[in-house]
């Protein structure tokens, strides 16, 4: 290999090493953050989730049989 090839291979190995260490560091920080939030004390007055479903009311009227089309 020539010198330029050696530099290219070393640079690629360095980039791979740095990206791996960065990924492990970010993973460790995320785990510490999640554990810290899970260990936090619960609030005394927590809000209970609720769902309200509003259904429109429909009034059914009898059809007037005297009209030919059934419409008033």
Q: Indicate the DSSP class of residue 69.
A: S
pLDDT confidence band for 46 (50 / 70 / 90): low
Q: Give the end-to-end CA distance of the chain in Å, rounded to a whole number.
A: 96
pLDDT confidence band for 17 (50 / 70 / 90): very high
Q: Indicate the DSSP class of residue 42.
A: P
Q: What is the mean pLDDT of residues 35-50?
A: 65
Q: How many percent of the chain have pLDDT more than 90?
A: 28
44, 36 Cβ separation under 8 angstroms = no
pLDDT confidence band for 21 (50 / 70 / 90): very high
Q: What is the mean pLDDT of residues 4-20?
A: 92
Taking CA 67 as the corner, what is the angle to CA 66 and CA 71, rounded to the nearest 5 degrees? 130
Q: Which residues contact 13 (CB under 8 A, 6 or more apart)?
A: none
pLDDT confidence band for 14 (50 / 70 / 90): very high
Taking CA 48 as the corner, what is the angle to CA 43 and CA 49, rounded to the nearest 5 degrees? 130
């Amino acid at each position: 290999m020539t010198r330029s090839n050696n530099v290219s291979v070393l640079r690629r190995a360095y980039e791979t090493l740095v990206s791996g260490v960065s990924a492990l560091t970010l993973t460790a920080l995320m785990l510490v953050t999640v554990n810290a939030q899970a260990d936090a004390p619960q609030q005394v007055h927590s809000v209970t989730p609720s769902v309200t479903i509003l259904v429109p009311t429909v009034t059914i009227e009898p059809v007037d049989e005297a009209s030919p089309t059934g419409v008033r």
